Amino acid sequence: MDSTRQPDLTRQRILEASFAEIHRHGFQAASVANILADTGLTKGALYHHFPSKKDLGLAVVDEMIGIGLVERYIRPLRDAEHPAQALIELIGMKQGISEEFIRLGCPLNNLMQEMSPVDEEFRNRLNRLLSQWQEAFEETLRRAQMAGEVRGEVNCHAAALFIVSAWEGCTGVAKNMQSVEAFRACMSQLQGYVVSLLKT
Amino acid sequence: MDSTRQPDLTRQRILEASFAEIHRHGFQAASVANILADTGLTKGALYHHFPSKKDLGLAVVDEMIGIGLVERYIRPLRDAEHPAQALIELIGMKQGISEEFIRLGCPLNNLMQEMSPVDEEFRNRLNRLLSQWQEAFEETLRRAQMAGEVRGEVNCHAAALFIVSAWEGCTGVAKNMQSVEAFRACMSQLQGYVVSLLKT
DNA sequence: ACGCATGCATACCGGTCGGTATGTAATTCA
DNA sequence: TGAATTACATACCGACCGGTATGCATGCGT
């Protein structure tokens, strides 16, 4: 037998369904019943693995959104040999901006806007991800600065903060406009900003 | 008697209380009961003036958020004699960024992130405000371009889109960080972007 | 002055929400 | 192999939600 009792797989399925549900409706409007319907499980299962809906949401932040963030954006930057080039390419990425993702927006941004005024614990967890992201940009800029590619007077910390902010802003606006083109145009301007940090 | 039966004043009180409640909790989590408690009115009053919670929300978008947007940002730009300078000053505004406003975020951005995937009608109304804002920036840039202050090769439409996006991104991130300083630092970078559009 | 629409208050409804108590089969460990 | 723990399923609960039906008093038009 292989399909009987695989608790950590069950847990993962709950997390994935929860991520999708939260991505669609936000956390507060996310329905536990929908998550159960999607997984084919029942309340007993969910509340066995997670003590409450809030804990489930926090787990989604850490184990789904956080990991995705690291894999997609942070690690590629850390591993990059040519930091400035890697950063610009990352911003101008032409792959993987599915229509669906534009419609639903950035999961991190969505939850920040929804939850940060409502719940401190959410805000702190989300802030950790935000900081990680910002630090990845900052480190990349600093490396490029060391390599003489970025101008010396550039405030890497503030620039990294702005890149994160503008990035989220672009996804947010594109989400409302439901326009991949707008997203590209917007990110292209952000790319221009980063280029303006480089030495001529 | 003056405090008996002032229907349009009552309607206005409902709108103001609704705006505050929606600003705090978002639209979906906004409680009609809370709005009534704040105003001291009852359901009869509210559902006399508004056919449904959704219509109330749409009215808040149009009559509260939209008007505020025009008064704060759009009109000052249109009325400005020196467009480039006015734009830069507006971005670097040191007045009126109350701690409370940072905590709760930009009402327009909040609703966009929450409602745009959920409800088409909301999305359309919010998009109208977004377009108005973008057009105000675009027009300002174009005027500055005519005046020879902005470089000729600048794409004013895309730049305006980016300014709106980055602006919302800055408020969104600052909201999660609960930091007025971060907001200032971020907007200062946006200011730098706009300066980079000017002729040297 | 009188009739009627307007402006609100009261009471109530069905539905959905997150959460829990209990039961039971599968798995693990002694 | 038996006991205990784990991994779920079932059934149920109180709270709150948006919305409505009804009633009544005020103000307005005539």
**Per-residue model confidence as pLDDT tens digits over B48-88:** 999 999 999 999 999 999 999 999 999 999 999 999 999 99
Cα–Cα distance between A30 and B28 in angstroms, integer?
11
pLDDT of residue B24 exceeding 50, the answer is yes
B164 closest CB neighbour out of A164, A173, A193: A173
Quote the pLDDT of residue B36. 98
User: Which of A37, A15, A68 minimizes the C-alpha distance to A7?
Assistant: A15
Cα–Cα distance between A123 and A15 in angstroms, integer?
19
Phi, psi dihedrals of residue B150, rounded to the nearest 5°: -105, 140
The answer to whether the C-beta of B11 is closer than 7 A to strand C is yes
Quote the pLDDT of residue B46. 98
**Strand C positions closer than 7 A to protein CB:** 6-12, 16-23, 26-27
CA distances from A15 to A9, A61, A109 (A): 10, 10, 19
pLDDT (tens digit per residue) in A105-153? 999 999 999 999 999 999 999 999 999 999 999 999 999 999 999 999 9
Instruction: Find the Å distance, CA of residue A109 to C1' of nucleotide D9.
Output: 36
pLDDT (tens digit per residue) in A43-55? 999 999 999 999 9
Cα B99 to chain centroid distance, Å, stands at 16
Environment class of B67 (CB within 10 Å of its CB; exposed 0-12, middle 13-18, buried 19+): exposed
pLDDT of residue A1 exceeding 70, the answer is no
The answer to whether the C-beta of B43 is closer than 7 A to strand C is yes
Mean pLDDT for A58-70 is: 98
Q: How confident is the model at residue B133 (pLDDT cuts 50, 70, 90)?
A: very high
pLDDT (tens digit per residue) in B160-198? 999 999 999 999 999 999 999 999 999 999 999 999 999
Q: Is some CB atom of chain A closer than 8 A to the CB atom of B31?
A: no
Do the chains contact at A172 and B169, CB–CB below 8 Å? yes
Higher per-residue confidence, B47 vs A94: B47
Cα B176 to chain centroid distance, Å, stands at 17
Q: Would you tell me which residues 168-197 of chain A have a C-beta closer than 8 angstroms to some C-beta of chain B?
A: 168-170, 172-178, 182, 185-186, 188-190, 193, 196
Q: Would you tell me which residues 46-85 of chain B have a C-beta closer than 8 angstroms to some C-beta of chain A?
A: none
CA distance A83 to chain B (A): 21
pLDDT of residue A2 exceeding 60, the answer is no
Q: How confident is the model at residue B1 (pLDDT cuts 50, 70, 90)?
A: very low
